[in-house]
Chains A and B, each alone.
Chain A
Amino acid sequence: MESVKINNLSKRYSDCCVFQRINFSFYPGKIIGLLGDNGVGKTTFIKLICGLIYPDEGEVFVNGIDIKKQRSKIMQNIGVFLEGSRSTYWKLTAWQNLLYFSGLKGTFGKLAHNRAKKLLHIFDLWDIRNTKVEFLSFGMKQRLALACSLSHDPFIILLDEPTSGLDKQSSTIFERFIKQLAHENKLVIIASHDHEMIERISHSTLIIKNGSINHVL
């Protein structure tokens, strides 16, 4: 069964057509790269899948459930990275943020603690776990935001520009981790400007242009 199914989806913003009757299915265990110029709708595409934006026409099904009608039901299975470093609470510590975001999706107790520990080690944030986010560097905030989006161990991971602001070493760690997620049979969709990174890690690449997904490599 497909993890994400997009049916005849159309989206317009005033006089600008972003998507015109697109159809797609994405399956578990795949990494999908999303490329396109600024303003073509990469972020809109990600937000349509997780229900933060409603389509004008068409439906999005996640694990067979209509995201518009039963959003809460499916949110435990979706991890979304948006807005990068700004999507965490700066007055809380890295540890508190991770536990808060896993709790928001319904993961608590030992499970949440173990997952948080694992992610802090993977993203090299363990030493600063008790530091408030406002005192972290941009790259650290970015890595923490990534960790938060994955803190509840979701099956479907949607990432919008996840590597912007990351140094080379952090990007390498990130790429390795994303490949690991695909091995665990999870679906990862990454929107990025970084063609090279997308080519390196994705199983298929979608290019958004002129209101449609024009090219699949």
Chain B
Amino acid sequence: MFFKILWNEIKKEILTAWSYRLQWLGEFLSLLIFFIFLVALTKEKQIAGVSYCLWFYSILIIGDISGKISTEMRSGTFEQIYLSAIPIPFLLFAKVVSAIVRSFIIMGSLLSFLCGLGYITLSSLPIIKLTYVMLLITPGLFGLSLFLGGLTILLKDIGWILNIINNSLLFLSGIFMPIESFPAWLQCVSHISLTTNAIDLIKVNHSNNELSLFIISLIYLGFGIGIFLYCEKKAKLRGCLGHY
């Protein structure tokens, strides 16, 4: 029954997302425009493309739960999903799965499009490694998403926090300039980010890094679940779970 409920949620999310498919096109176009500027600024086009895809994947998942909770609060359905027969974090994970599917479709389209234009060559792209690294950081990104989802339940509008996170990730991940050129303290800060560590892992091949990345990812997940459950409890005590 558990997996059936998860599949039920994934199906609903995909159906709903398909109703807004023009938004997918918008996401693809903004990603493309940004990437073209990035290519103009950098010499290492392959790494820039991969890093940019990782950044896009990260921000899509990190903001997903918060965005969906806000939408459901506004439409009045948020309390309904709280009446589910399985714990809410699992149901929210099912929602994130639809975001993962969406991000893979958009990134796949972008990379194919750029290959077609001759910006990058498909054979030199570390596609398998990229997918593998994405899977390694997914639990952590989901944890961060839960953390922001919890804040949304309590504070309602956290768009400004999301903006700070998205922009920080973009610069701290070393997409625009190498992390090595940052001051020492900023290099330390940038390595708090899962995305930075994931990009590093793609640049250098070392199995120890994979394990430590996965452990950091799990720590983020635990932290996210803890904060989410705390915020949920507070909201239920205040009686503001479904308010917006």
Interface residues of A (CB under 8 A from B): 11, 13, 44, 47, 50-54, 56, 72, 75-76, 78, 80, 82-83, 86-92, 96, 99-101, 103-106, 108
Interface of A is mostly: mixed
A80 CA / B1 CA spacing, docked (Å): 21
Judge whether B19 is part of the interface by a CB distance below 8 angstroms: yes
Looking at the complex, which one of A13, A50, A75, A89 makes contact with B77 (CB distance below 8 Å)?
A89
**Once the chains bind, are B83 and A100 in contact (CB under 8 Å)?**
no
Looking at the complex, which one of A47, A90, A100, A106 makes contact with B1 (CB distance below 8 Å)?
A106
Judge whether B82 is part of the interface by a CB distance below 8 angstroms: yes
Residue of A nearest to B87 (CB): A72
A105 CA / B19 CA spacing, docked (Å): 24
A86 in contact with B83 given A53-B236, A54-B233, A92-B16 (CB within 8 Å): no
Minimum CB–CB distance from A62 to chain B (whole Å) comes to 12
**Once the chains bind, are A53 and B241 in contact (CB under 8 Å)?**
yes
**Once the chains bind, are A108 and B4 in contact (CB under 8 Å)?**
yes
The 8 closest A-B pairs by CB, nearest first: A86-B76, A103-B8, A91-B19, A54-B236, A106-B85, A83-B76, A75-B85, A53-B239
Interface residues of B (CB under 8 A from A): 1, 4-5, 8-9, 11-12, 15-16, 19-20, 75-77, 79-87, 233, 236-239, 241-242
**Once the chains bind, are B79 and A89 in contact (CB under 8 Å)?**
no
Looking at the complex, which one of B11, B12, B77, B83 makes contact with A80 (CB distance below 8 Å)?
B83
A104 in contact with B5 given A52-B241, A72-B87, A96-B15 (CB within 8 Å): yes
Residue of B nearest to A83 (CB): B76
**Once the chains bind, are A83 and B87 in contact (CB under 8 Å)?**
no
**Once the chains bind, are B15 and A91 in contact (CB under 8 Å)?**
yes
Q: B83 — which chain A residues lie within 8 A by C-beta?
A: 50, 52, 75, 78, 80, 104-105
Q: Which of A78, A87, A103, A106 has the most CB of B within 10 A?
A: A103
**Once the chains bind, are B237 and A54 in contact (CB under 8 Å)?**
yes
Q: A52 — which chain B residues lie within 8 A by C-beta?
A: 79, 82-83, 236, 241-242
Minimum CB–CB distance from B9 to chain A (whole Å) comes to 8
